[in-house]
Amino acid sequence: MKYKSQKVAYWFFALSMLLLVLQITYGFIMGFARMGFDNLHEFIPFNTARAVHTNLLVVWLLSGFMGAAYYIIPEEAQKELVSVKLAYVQLISLALVGVVAIIGFHFNIWEGRKFLEIPRPLDYLVVVNVLLFLGLILTTLFKAKRRTTTSLVLSMGLLFAALLYLPGMLPFDSQVTDSFFRWWVVHLWVEGVWELIMGGILSFLLIKLTGVDREVIEKWLYVIVGLTFLSGVLGTGHHYYYIGVNKIWLVVGGIFSALEPLAFLAMALFAVNMYRKGEKKHPNKLALYWTLGSAIVSFVGAGLLGFAHTLPQTNLYTHGTLVTAMHGHLAFWGAYAMIVLAIISYALPNLTGRKLYESSRGRAAFWLSNIGMIGMTVAFGVAGVAQVYLERKFGMDFMTVQKEISVHFVVLVLCATMFATGIVLYIIDFYKHGKPTDEALDI
């Protein structure tokens, strides 16, 4: 059964696609700057481009998560959203906050705290926006007669994500204390509660696409939630190695960082096993590609590559180098970007009535973006290892090393071009589906 209020999800998805294009654009600006072509430096310095690139990543993913919630919750709860008008108000206010923040970055209006750069007044507006979103989602669930494990895990992830934003707003005079709590936001989002959001969306998609019994799929969710909290919370310790806190975090961070891949391994096994058990041959193969791809790539990017450089013995050398960028790009792409693209691929045909399942353009988008991202990951990795040896082992000057490894950014930009081509094809497919219709939702 479909619900008219699910139409609001389309516009959140559309916003996320627009923000994704902007994020990629600023990524190219940084890539060309690293190659020596920094012609835009007077207008967009590297630090501004980096802040815009990383913050747009967070905002476009959050827009996608919100769109996913507005699509999934009514269907899981079997109840229309309590107020569609307020959902549109929330969408517009989210877009306005994002625009003001990005413009402000270009005029050096920011806090200067990595990943949490937006000015304090905008922080308060973000809190109001997210409270409105949670109010709509949780009230809909509360009034519904049906509450599934999938909807509860998704809602729990979104609620905890909102609560964990608050420590990043606490003012501290000590940079050590500030960094300590800043990682409560950054780490516990991406290696904690966002995994619950991913798990909820993954569960919904597998129920719809494979036909495996809901009880079987949702039992796996409990395993994922348990592993996420077991490893993710104390795994925050790998960010505390060198910021001035007690040495005990070297032990705690090392042990629990080694356990963090288990949650992503569980998701990968979960998805593949459900696919094998599935008797339902769903026609939307593109959504299935993105769903299974997300589970597998997240294990490699977030799980294995994260493990490879968060052990204290390794992180002593790789901390703050391009090895981190290697891990970060594939982790965010696999765990969160691909699951957003998966729910969009599933929802669009249902919202618009246009069943573009067998689109060659859609398949090309999947393969080009994934091959391009893997190429970028390899380029970052090779450059990062070279940086570690030249800078950390041989003691060469930082800027000298940057010149030595600039050749790797030629490969990076070439692979990024392939990736961007795939994303453009995906967005063309998004556009070709058209806007949602009441007729499609009445079917």
Cα(81)–Cα(89) distance, integer angstroms: 14
Cα(364)–Cα(339) distance, integer angstroms: 17
pLDDT score at 95: 96
pLDDT along the chain (443 residues), means of 10: 86 98 97 90 93 96 97 95 96 96 94 87 94 96 93 95 92 90 92 92 93 87 85 90 89 88 86 81 91 94 91 90 96 97 96 87 97 98 96 94 94 98 97 87 62
For residue 254, give the nearest of 238, 239, 242 by alpha carbon.
238
3-state SS track over 97-164: HHHHHHHHHCCCCCCCCCCCCCCHHHHHHHHHHHHHHHHHHHHHHHHCCCCCHHHHHHHHHHHHHHHC
Cα(200)–Cα(90) distance, integer angstroms: 22
What are the two backbone dihedrals, phi and then psi, of residue 228, each rounded to the nearest 5 degrees? -60, -45
pLDDT score at 442: 61
Domain-wise residue ranges, the chain: 1-147
Cα(61)–Cα(23) distance, integer angstroms: 11
pLDDT score at 231: 87
What are the two backbone dihedrals, phi and then psi, of residue 357, each rounded to the nearest 5 degrees? -70, -40
pTM for the whole thing?
A: 0.96
Q: What letter represents residue 169's amino acid?
A: M
| Cβ neighbours for 367, distance < 8 A, ≥ 6 positions apart | 422
Cα(345)–Cα(17) distance, integer angstroms: 12
Tokens of 363: 């398949």
Q: What letter represents residue 37's amino acid?
A: F
pLDDT score at 130: 95
For residue 239, give the nearest of 179, 189, 195 by alpha carbon.
179
Is residue 117 a contact partner of residue 171, using CB atoms and an 8 Å limit? no
